[in-house]
Amino acid sequence: MPRRTDIRKVMVIGSGPIVIGQACEFDYSGTQACRALKAEGYQVCLVNSNPATIMTDPAFADATYIEPLTPESVLAIVRRERPDVLLPTLGGQTGLNVAVALAESGELDRLGVELIGAKLDAIHAAEDRSRFKDAMVAAGLEVPRAGIATTVESAISVAEDIGYPLIVRPSFMLGGGGSGFADDREQLVELVRRSLADSPATEVLIEESVKGWKEFELEVMRDGADNAVIVCSIENVDPMGVHTGDSITVAPQQTLTDREYQAMRDDAITCIRAIGVETGGSNVQFAVDPGTGRRVVIEMNPRVSRSSALASKATGFPIAKIAALLAVGYRLDEIVNDITGETPAAFEPTLDYVVVKIPRFAFEKFPEADPTLTSTMKSVGEVMAIGRTFKESLGKALRSIEKTGFDLGSDGPAPIGAEDVIDAIREGTEHRLLLVERALLDGNTVDVVADASQIDPWFVDQIAEVVEGSEDLRGRRLTDLTADDIRRAKRIGLSDRRIASLTGAGVRAATERRLELGVRPVFKTVDTCGGEFAARTPYHYSTYEESDEVTPADRPRVVILGAGPNRIGQGIEFDYACVHAAFALEEAGFESVMVNSNPETVSTDYDTASRLYFEPLSEEDVLAVVESERPEGVICQFGGQTPLRLAHFLQERGVRVLGTPPSAIDLAEDRGKFAEILRELDIPAPPHGEARDIDEARRIAREIGFPVVVRPSYVLGGRAMEIVYDADDLEHFVRTAAEASPDHPVLVDRFLEGAIEVDVDAVSDGTDVFIGAVMEHIEEAGVHSGDSSCAIPPQTLSDEEMDTVENITKRLARRLGVVGLLNLQLAVKDETIWVLEANPRASRTVPFVSKVIGVSLARAATLVLTGRTIGDLISEGVLPDDPHHYRHLRFTSVKAAVLPFNRFRGADTILGPEMKSTGEVMGIDHDSGAALAKALIAGGTSLPVKGTVFVSVANRDKRAILLPAKRLADMGFRLLATRGTAGLLARAGIPVEPVHKVSEAEAVGPDPDGVPAPTIVDLLAGGDVDLVINTPFGRGARTDGYWIRTAAAIAGVPCITTIPGLLAAVRGIEAIGAPASEPRSIQEYHAEAAAVPIQGRLGLAGLTSTTAARTPSP
């Protein structure tokens, strides 16, 4: 049964922005699928709103639509493209939900578009919990005892039949959103209420709790001839109760016998057949009672999932690619296993190594959120490590996490809550594994620790072996250690840093000692077959054993250091740059060598770079790769801060760092030196100072004047950064900042209130500079650039201002000695352009700019690193010769951030200098208002076109609110406002109804009938408000603003917290009301841009210098 010939065009739906529970693993899967389908000669049409993805690069599809992933928007594209088939199983839950909506509406049938991969009925059978359960029972599989409820009352009666503890989950939610445990009736009622609000189907499943059971997942592939294989088994170290995305997991499973494992395998295949997923991959989750072995099916995803990405990387079996090929008719035995090049994909990979995945969390960003791990996923990224044993892989994974102290295990700083360590391990937390180590170190037995944590004793015993091995070294002198001692330590996964800590030596000394004794890792190959066949793909990992399988390549090599785990502030954008670097190196005749630890990425696909090393991005591991490969040089500037931090170390070891030298990186990162350079070049910068104590901070603030920005030095993503308006707040925030980075001074800068922020991405060859684009932020200065929306072309900057920005960029690039990428952040206020910071590396906006201008900046930068000049690249057509190309675009592109507040109940939703977003979307349109609206819609803000708007703004925003409020009233919205704001609006003649704040309700008292006065929070909870505008005054919990914002987040009502954001939303609402423009692919936009003659800045209809981002006066 070869591929289908009745298909001409395939439509693929992506997964949209990176959010918790749906990360760049779907870029990986979509990219694989698009490549495979194109290689088969199909026309591929792709929709995804996320510009940071590789898949939305124009080369990966014939028509790429960067448009919102809503049914309406996708339908318009289906109508325009008329694909023969729609492949919905590679774009995560988002892609699947859109496809389901289109199929259910009958539109796909009407347009003659067939769903391939999974049919509508199969998707329903898997996603509808009650149908799923029925199907499992009918197929003879066991499931937890359960019932369905659609109301709180029915939930209570179901719960009484089953008995507590229970788990409650809403139907149709990705990443376990909205689910939780209930030990009693009170907890049940609260959970059910919330879940009913979250579930698109307003239905919840109430289930027997299997918390504490062993958890397993199997990845199944099935073809159209009903052949089924298990690609990978995954065992969770954390027991049931912690979402699998938040669990430490291991592949292959370690603790089931053949009899138990094969029975589970049978169940998984029975499950995929019963649900009726015809072709492709599914993931089936099981819980096993550790006492009796009773096995129940928990759920299945009828699509490629996060676990499939992990399984692909863990085994070398490209699940997404194979799923795409199966969907167009191939059978498993007709597809060749790329790794061996001779055997078919109809087999089950066998591993001769152990893979460990550890999630990465960002609780430090959301101090109000509960850091306990539950059935709702909270992690923002993950790392994977490969070693020959669990112990070795665990050690490698811990140092891949790149969080202070994790690579030290129990020797690291004691995590919070470690007073009673046995008590602390009862709950899942980010630090549980380290606490398990600590508990063992304290002398608790494996059984005691296993019993408290419900982690299988086998895993606990493995950790005990690590503890024993590290105790063997403790207190000994480094110079007394023999080669055998060190080899033993490395074989249980101890990092050089940990060996150093145990022996009281420095980390460099530990590395030196190890190398001196000749203890070096060797590299083995991931080959899918346990060594039975020769592997053709160079996919390697290090281990401390005898034979090395890496042979030097003939071509010159360049090592690219990746970005490590996704985290807030360093995500998929950096992977995008690394992937382009790999492609560009190939183009320039080099062998590209990728080093990365993130299984979700395209960069860790075995066919992205010429060679792949799945390794931690730590000094010792990177050095080992470099020593093995002996490259021409190493690229450190594409993977964000992670590789940048290694640049100095590598240079000291005699390794050539390509492009901007480490000394130049220092010039930009060191505030003092950078300020000097700005002075020397006569470029304005906000006045600032460095404070070592609160007195100094007060003095600096007095000198430069409030408001000021307070932040610690040497941190990422605006960690612990605050804007301080008066001396009272200063003390508190200076202390917080000092805690975040204790050994460094606190930086105090003048805050340019109301300034327009501007970003620039450029490529420099050391002499000439190519400006990728100048971007204008929509939110004013003070919102972290990663959380801010921005537009290309700039919406309100004059040509002169853009000229100045470009000129500053060029002078700075030359002065700093930048070779490669440069990102500059500036602020425009009072006719002055101020430089805020320079980052001589790939920035978060590189993919966005590349998508908009149709030029890959990362490719251009890579070619520059290999010796080409900007002049060469312009003459070769890699770069456009129009220096103002981005200003001449006739369409507007808006990038908007996506925030994870719905995951962190209780976290305040205001934007500030600390970055909180997980991902981004892009809106593109000839009409700039429509571009804004698309960006907002794509980001999940469901802008209302009618209904009720609640307004409450800070005093400083009271003038600015009048115009947009009037516009909303004119459009027919009913306005509610708190007393102060209501008075203001009423005086301006805008119809408005006052409503109580929470803090007022008590003072007002109940009405004559004894009913308490409704507050805005009550109205929000009751679903009476469609849009909230709340600009913050006063921060922290328990302020009125906090209650309003969190109530809005819980009710799922869009909440706008800045005036520019509001202006953008108003324009968006206007645009939604207007007739929709026809969607266009970015290939069309790029063709249009290339064809347009240069005629000055054009047609930003409706935008004048006083609208949009500039604070208007009433």
Partner 1 sequence: MTRGSEALLVLEDGTAFRGRAFGAFGETFGEVVFNTGMVGYQEVLTDPSYARQVVVMTAPQQGNYGTNDEDPESAAIQVAGFVVREASRRASNWRAQRTLHEELAASGVVGIEDIDTRRLTLRIRETGAMRCGVSTEDLDATSLVARVRERSGMEGADLAKDVSADVAYEARELVGAAVPHEDATYRVAAVDLGMKRTILRSFAAEGIEATVFPAGTPAAEIAAGGFQGVFLSNGPGDPGATRYGIETTRALLGTVPVFGICLGHQLLGHALGGATYKMKFGHRGANQPVKDLRSGRVEITSHNHGFAVEARAWDPEITPEIAASADEPSIVRTPTAGRVALSHWNLNDATLEGLRCLDVPAFSVQYHPEAAPGPHDSRYLFEEFRTLMRAGG
Residue 282 Cβ vs partner 1, minimum distance, rounded to whole Å: 17
Which of these, 11, 166, 178, lies nearest to 85 by C-alpha position? 11
Please classify residue 163 by burial: count the beta carbons closer than 10 Å to its beta carbon, then call 0-12 exposed, 13-18 middle and 19+ buried: exposed
Q: Is 192 left (phi over 0), alpha (psi -120 to 50) or beta?
A: alpha
Q: Which is nearer to partner 1, 451 or 1000 (CB)?
A: 451
The stretch near partner 1 (CB under 8 A) out of 54-62, 316-324, 402-410, 541-549 is 541-549
Interface with partner 1 by CB under 8 A: which range of 375-383, 471-479, 524-532, 1038-1046? Answer: 524-532
Q: Is 142 in the site for partner 1 (CB under 8 A)?
A: no
The least CB distance from residue 557 to partner 1, in Å, is 24
Answer for which of 109, 121, 160, 352 binds partner 1 (CB under 8 A) is 352
Instruction: Determine if 821 is a binding residue for partner 1 (CB under 8 A).
Output: no
353 binds partner 1 (CB under 8 A): yes
Site size for partner 1 (CB under 8 A): 58
Q: Binding of partner 1 at residue 1099 (CB under 8 A)? A: no
Angle, CA 361 vertex, CA 359 and CA 366 arms, to 5°: 165
CB nearer to partner 1: give 293 or 1114: 293
| Distance (Å, whole) CA 261 – CA 267 | 10
Which residue in 276, 457, 556, 1014 binds partner 1 (CB under 8 A)? 457
With binding defined as CB under 8 A, does residue 388 bind partner 1?
yes
Residue where the block lists tokens 């600009």:
1031
830 binds partner 1 (CB under 8 A): no
Sole binder of partner 1 in the list 130, 157, 202, 350 (CB under 8 A):
350
Q: Which x/- pattern, by CB under 8 A, does the window 102-131 give for partner 1?
A: ------------------------------
- Phi and psi torsions of 813, nearest 5°: -60, -45
In angstroms, how far is CA 279 from the centroid of its own chain?
Answer: 28
Q: CB–CB of 591/555 below 8 Å?
A: yes
Nearer to partner 1, 344 or 989 (CB): 344
Q: What minimum distance in Å lies between the beta carbon of 482 and partner 1?
A: 16
CB of 314 to partner 1, least distance (A): 12
Residue that has been written with the tokens 């490549």 in this structure: 35
Binding string, residues 273-312; x marks residues near partner 1 by CB under 8 A: -----------------xxxx-------------------
Question: Residue 107 or 465: which CB sits closer to partner 1?
Answer: 465
**Looking at residue 570, what DSSP letter applies?**
B
* 949 beta partners: 975, 1027
CA distance 238 to 690: 44
Using rule CB under 8 A, residue 530 touches partner 1:
yes
3-class SS of residue 1033: coil
Q: Which is nearer to partner 1, 382 or 456 (CB)?
A: 456
Regarding 354 and contact with partner 1 (CB under 8 A), the answer is yes
Q: Which residues pair with 922 in a beta bridge?
A: 895
The verdict on 258 binding partner 1 (CB under 8 A) reads yes
Give the distance, in angstroms, between the CA of residue 359 and the centroid of all CA atoms in the same chain: 12
Burial 277-313 (b: 16+ CB within 10 A, else e): bbbbbbbbbbbbebeeeebbbbbbbbbbbbbbbbbbb
With respect to partner 1, which residue has the nearer C-beta, 57 or 456?
A: 456
> Which listed residue (181, 533, 706, 725) binds partner 1 by CB under 8 A?
533
CB of 15 vs partner 1, minimal distance in Å: 31
Quickly count helices (H) and strands (E) in the chain.
39, 38
Q: How far is the CB of 346 from partner 1 (least distance, A)?
A: 4
Of 140 and 200, the one with the shorter C-beta distance to partner 1 is: 140
547 binds partner 1 (CB under 8 A): yes
Q: Should residue 546 be labelled a site residue for partner 1 when binding is judged by CB under 8 A?
A: yes
- Which structure tokens are listed for 687? 């006045």
d(CA 951, CA 959): 13
Residues 934-963 that bind partner 1 (CB under 8 A): none
The span of 378-386, 532-540, 716-724, 1103-1111 binding partner 1 (CB under 8 A) equals 532-540
State yes or no: residue 446 binds partner 1 (CB under 8 A): yes
Provide the minimum distance between the beta carbon of 388 and partner 1 in the complex, in angstroms, as a whole number. Answer: 5
Alpha carbon of residue 930 to chain centroid? 26
Distances in whole angstroms, Cα of residue 1069 to Cα of each of 493, 777, 925, 962: 55, 19, 15, 17
479 binding partner 1? (CB under 8 A): no
Rounded Cα gap, residues 1091 and 1083, in angstroms = 12
DSSP string, 785-816: TTTS-EEES-SS--HHHHHHHHHHHHHHHHHH
- Interface region with partner 1, contact rule CB under 8 A, candidates 11-19, 539-547, 582-590, 665-673: 539-547
Decide whether 254 or 651 has the Cβ nearer to partner 1: 254
Cβ proximity to partner 1, 255 vs 869, nearer residue: 255
CA distance 758 to 846: 14
Are 251 and 355 contacting, i.e. CB atoms less than 8 angstroms apart?
yes
CB-count burial class (<10 Å; 0-12, 13-18, 19+) for 552: exposed
Q: What type of residue is 605?
A: D
Residue 266 touches partner 1, criterion: CB under 8 A: yes
The answer to whether 206 touches 147, Cβ cutoff 8 Å, is yes
Does 693 contact partner 1 by CB under 8 A?
no
Q: Which of 344, 947, 991, 1023 touches partner 1 (CB under 8 A)?
A: 344
Using CB under 8 A as the binding rule, whether residue 551 contacts partner 1 is answered as: no
The least distance separating partner 1 from the CB of residue 223, rounded to whole angstroms, comes to 9
What value, to the nearest 5°, has the Cα angle with vertex 136 and ends 131 and 138? Answer: 95
Nearer to partner 1, 349 or 1032 (CB): 349
- In the bound state with partner 1, the residue whose beta carbon lies nearer, of 229 and 328, is 229
Report the residue from 262, 767, 832, 955 that binds partner 1 according to the rule CB under 8 A.
262
Residue 332 touching partner 1 (CB under 8 A) = yes
How many C-beta atoms surround the C-beta of residue 757 within 10 A?
A: 26
User: Two tokens at 980?
Assistant: 């102060």
Q: How far is the CB of 903 from partner 1 (least distance, A)?
A: 34
E strands, 178-245, are 180-182, 204-208, 214-222, 228-236
For tokens 């940990």, the residue is 498
* Min separation Cβ 266 and partner 1, Å: 6
Is the CB of 293 or the CB of 413 nearer to partner 1? 293
Q: Which of residues 210-249 bind partner 1 (CB under 8 A)?
A: 225-227, 229-230, 233
Instruction: Name which of 372 and 482 has its Cβ closer to partner 1.
Output: 482
Per DSSP, the residues of 168-201 read EEESS-GGGTT-EEESSHHHHHHHHHHHHHH-TT
255 makes contact with partner 1 (CB under 8 A): yes
> Binder to partner 1 among 40, 190, 208, 348 (CB under 8 A)?
348
CB of residue 342 to partner 1, shortest distance in Å? 8
CB of 333 to partner 1, least distance (A): 5
Place of tokens 């000129």: 807
Is 256 a binding residue for partner 1 by CB under 8 A? The answer is yes
Distance CA 711, CA 157 (A): 53
CB 210 within 8 A of CB 295: no
The secondary element (H helix, E strand) that includes residue 26 is helix 25-39
Cα 86 from chain centre: 26
- Minimum CB separation from partner 1 for residue 862, in Å? 34
Residues that bind partner 1 (CB under 8 A): 225-227, 229-230, 233, 252-262, 265-266, 290-293, 331-333, 342-344, 346-354, 388-390, 446, 456-458, 461, 465, 524, 529-534, 545-547, 549
